[in-house]
A and B are shown apart, each in its own frame.
Chain A
Amino acid sequence: QVQLVQSGAEVKKPGASVKVSCKASGYTFTNYDINWVRQAPGQGLEWMGWMNPHSSATGYAQKFQGRVTMTRDTSTNTAFMVLNSLTSEDTAVYYCARTSYSFGKGSLDYWGQGTLVTVSS
């Protein structure tokens, strides 16, 4: 069965960086894009960007351009998201989610369990 398992909760100080991992299993990792979506406490869902694990191509929401990097390790079927220059407004649960179609646009059919990132001095 398809699973996305994320790394554990993080506490960071303002100005620091955080790296969240997302380990995929149960399908061919390189065939489906991985997206990152975050959710601030009590708020809605915000898409951050996507990565193609086959080509390593990426696309980021304008809001995060220059501050986020999405990478992958195909030897371990793991996707990574690094967010730099953290502020308290980055406190949120970060999710990885798979695009449902191998090629082209799709909904998000499988989600990781979420990683809480808390930014506090």
Chain B
Amino acid sequence: DIVMTQSPDSLAVSLGERATINCKSSQSILYNSHNNYYLAWYQQKPGQPPKLLIYWASTRDSGVPDRFAGSGSGTDFTLTISSLQAEDVAVYYCQQYSNTPPTFGQGTQVEIK
């Protein structure tokens, strides 16, 4: 199975500041030569199901604010929240869907400093 490793496990960021979450895959999850990867990011707030934020590593899902951005290449990927808002407090998960089984990172808790 492909192992997805996120860092850090948690981070506290001041309102309006940048939050950066990293995700590393144990093997390639490259989709095509256009630098698309089988990688998604989800946001989960307490008591709610996960919500899809980013797919193909860098494509925002419909309605997702543009302060959320996905990037990366090779086996290293990043979710950046450019200006943290109070409503962004949540756990964030990366997921690869290149191989079966699809696998998730362990999650990163984002809090307000």
Which residues does A use to contact B, with CB under 8 Å?
35, 44-47, 59, 61-62, 95, 97, 100, 105-109, 111-114
Answer yes or no: B106 CB below 8 A from chain A CBs.
yes
Checking A44, A95, A114 against B107 with a beta-carbon cut-off of 8 angstroms, the contacting residue is: A44
Known: A108-B50, A111-B49. A59 touches B100 (CB 8 A): yes
Question: Would you call the interface of chain B mostly helix, strand, loop, or mixed?
Answer: loop
Contact B51 A111 (CB under 8 A): yes
Render B71-113 as a binary contact track against A, CB cut-off 8 A, 1 for contact.
0000000000000000000000101011011111111000000
Q: Is the CB of B93 within 8 A of A45?
A: yes
Closest approach, in angstroms, between the C-beta of B7 and any C-beta of chain A? 14
The answer for the CA separation of A113 and B104 in the assembled complex, in Å, is 19
Cα–Cα, bound, A61→B103 (Å):
10
Identify which of A46, A62, A107 contacts B55 (C-beta below 8 A). Answer: A107
Does B68 interact with chain A (Cβ within 8 Å)? no
The residues of A that contact B50 with a CB separation of less than 8 Å are 45, 95, 97, 108, 111
Give the interface size bracket for B toward A: 20 to 34
Is B17's beta carbon under 8 Å from chain A? no
Q: In the assembly, what is the distance between CA of A35 and CA of B98, in Å?
A: 15
Given A47-B104, A105-B38, are A114 and B93 neighbors across the interface (CB < 8 Å)? no
Return the CB mask of B44-64 against A: 1 if under 8 Å, else 0: 000001111001000001000
On whether the beta carbons of B98 and A112 are closer than 8 Å, the reply is: no
The one of B38, B61, B98 in contact with A109, judged by C-beta atoms closer than 8 angstroms, is B61
Q: Is B21 an interface residue (CB 8 A)?
A: no
In the assembled complex, the CB of B53 is this many whole angstroms from the nearest CB of chain A, namely 10
Whole-angstrom distance between the Cβ of A46 and the nearest chain B Cβ: 8
Cross-interface CB contact of B103 among A47, A100, A108, A114, cutoff 8 Å: A47
- The answer for the CA separation of A106 and B95 in the assembled complex, in Å, is 11
A112 neighbours in B (Cβ, 8 Å) = 49
- Cβ–Cβ contact A106 & B52, under 8 A: no
A107 and B52 within 8 A (CB): yes
Q: Which residues of B contact A62 (CB under 8 A)?
A: 101
* B69 interfacial by beta-carbon distance below 8 Å: no
